[in-house]
Structure 1
Amino acid sequence: MKIDRDGVNLQVEVSGPEDGPAIVFSNSLGTTLHLWDQVIPLLPEGLRLVRYDMRGHGQSDVPDPPYTMGQLVSDAEAVCDALNVRDCLFVGLSVGGMIAQGLAVKRPDIIRAMVLSNTADKIGNKALWEDRINAVTQQGLAAIADGVMQRWFGSDFYGTPAMAQWQQMLSDTPAAGYAGVCAAIAGTDFYTPTSGLRIPTLGIAGSQDKSTPPDLVRETVDLIPGSQFALMQRAGHLPCVENPTAFAELLNKFIADTGHL
């Protein structure tokens, strides 16, 4: 289905009972809602599962860049409001985890607990993102794809046939959409707002993640009192792809621990 947010159509997929406890998934830069395909079947029955393509990605509209983090957070808010999602567990990976932090501060009625996977309150710096934007704008996604794969995946997964679909997904991302989200990340520092959150939080990191190293993820979730942290060994930036079974086990335990189902 499509949900309109101020003229930007966002692609959304929903499964499970309409009255079930909701889990909302927000994916990373350069991926689509299919990032979660291998995790979804491993979750308990009875949950209402919501996934969406952020602007500039997948089947969502591609407005002209740059984008702001406020726009990305408002997009997630619009999806939740359109589906009447309240008290959800929000699972965000990379920029999706930044969106989770922003939405939890803005709309505490929507998020009761969150999983911050391979993310941080601040990722990289403006110079890094400006270089990435320039490379993508001038040369296209294919030119940076292999370098991104090396940051995304651990040594066990990188270069295997299974990696090909993810490299293709990245290469298929519209350059304008990718650059737009890069700009949003470049302008974001959630240290202070995230420090004020008081909701159940699980941080997940990959031991071989070169984009958001484990210490960065741990430092971010440590801002939230009572948070948990889990390290997935030999995984990179997308552990839900490299080891969906282990990722789902962490998620299912957190669902149980928080009484979400």
Structure 2
Amino acid sequence: MSHTAHIPSHRKPRRSASKLALRAGVAGGVLSTIAVAGAAGPANAEPVTETIEMPTLGSLDTELASAVSASAEAAKQEALDLSLKAQEDAAIAKAAKEAKKAKAEADRKAEAAKAEAERAEKARAEAQERASRTEARTTLSTSSSGSSSSSSSQVATGSAAAIVAFARAQIGDAYVMGGTGPNSWDCSGLVQAAYRQAGIDLPRVSGSQSSMGTSVSLSNLQPGDILYWGSRSGSYHVAIYVGGGKYVGAQNPSTGVVERSLDWDMPSGAVRIR
């Protein structure tokens, strides 16, 4: 017999292996249970059981799908908002461009209408001027035909003769603005010098010269009368009537002092200073 056969063992009783029961309803989604039994107690002791609810894969899939769907919906809404904003911006830009184009067209039409009105007014004024000159020519022609002998044989006498003689003596001289002789003249400078030969002092400028004396009709002219163009108090050109339907005047830098027919440039009126 062994010497140790009856020696009682001092080891603690070896615990039985803990029981771990895991029931995971992976496919079916049931509750999983973990049962832990302690082996330290008596053999017939009740096992301690703890139940833990674990999420199922089916539940995780559902939540993940819901989150993905919500994210996709938000991205879709954001894209839609951006698209609408882009459309609004494009519509605003198009409207502004069309408004600018319409304004430019309206301005162009207004300018064209203004220019047309100015042309019409100018044409009307020119037509009135032509009509006035035609009427004057007709009156002068009628008067001349009624007394052709006296018109063609108008002879300057007295002071008028001196005025006409001086004016004709300057034919061919140059025209110079502000000229008062002896070899260059402007229109009023020539008239002033011619009248000085008759002992008559006249103002220097054409507007003042035509304002003096007595107004006479173009159909009743006499040699030595002053012809004017423009209004009587605001004439811009003067010359001397020399008889026979003609006048002598310092016209412009191109022609100088010349003798012309009244028909070449019909004057606006005449004055007599004697």
- TM-score interval, normalised by the smaller of the two chains: under 0.3
Structure with larger RCO (C-alpha < 8 A, sep 6+): 1
TM-score w.r.t. the length of structure 2 is 0.20
TM-score, with normalisation over the residues of structure 1?
0.21
